[in-house]
Amino acid sequence: MPKVVLITGASRGIGAATARLAASRGYDVCVNYRRDAAAADEVRRDIDAAGRRVIAVAADVGVEADVVRLFETCDRALGPVTAVVNNAGVLETQMRLDAMDAARWHRVLTTNVIGAFLCAREAVRRMSTRHGGAGGAIVNVSSGASRLGSPDEYIDYAASKGALDTLTIGLSREVAEEGIRVNAVRPGHIYTEMHASGGEPNRVDRVKAIVPMKRGGTAEEVAGAILWLLSDEASYTTGAFIDVAGGK
């Protein structure tokens, strides 16, 4: 049975690095993206050049119909998913909670929380032995912010990642007897384009002095942890978290 991984938010950053590494480890890859078709196509071309089957599918993970279509498209083109990486996430401009409005919270929680729930649901419906599936693995990309709270910057983002942590624990226990492992990685200060969305593209360089290792991390370092959790080497690991955060 071919290994098929569906990665949300895979056109850039951690998602793109995970897609490329997965292809090098023998996975066929469904690259999900929301808007940046050019970036997604670049990832798709790299995977195709590596000799793996690959598709790029535009879908907003916060929209239920889009998620259903995303998984159905993957079914038709690549076959049933054996691995899902819930990586898609949004981050908004740094500010205190008392300056935020409800519209912002809806945007962040819809993508970061509801999107992950929807993708996990579709994964379970395909992977679970209860539904006739052959099992599989889900990795949720959380954040060190879930432990630290991101005061004065992104309390809403941190709270959304706290919800993802709880989803990881609860779902891992719910489907443990059905052949599905559910784990999470919690990246720390990683060099990705996401910081520009928060209004500070060079944020990692500003804060790296407070990291015990005194540097920021790379998307490839996070991808390595994700691929280990997806692999057979982690066959007895579920409900677990790997902090890829330089010791912070």
Residues annotated as catalytic are 157
Q: Could you tell me if 143 and 161 are in contact, meaning their C-beta atoms sit under 8 angstroms apart?
A: yes
* CA dist list (Å): 147 to 77, 186, 188: 38, 9, 10
Q: Could you tell me if 80 and 4 are in contact, meaning their C-beta atoms sit under 8 angstroms apart?
A: yes
The H helix count followed by the E strand count for the chain is 10, 7
CB atoms within 10 A of CB 104: 15
Rounded CA-CA distance 70/198 in Å is: 28
Neighbour-count burial of 35, counting CB atoms closer than 10 A to its CB (0-12 exposed, 13-18 middle, 19+ buried): exposed
Q: Could you tell me if 6 and 77 are in contact, meaning their C-beta atoms sit under 8 angstroms apart?
A: no
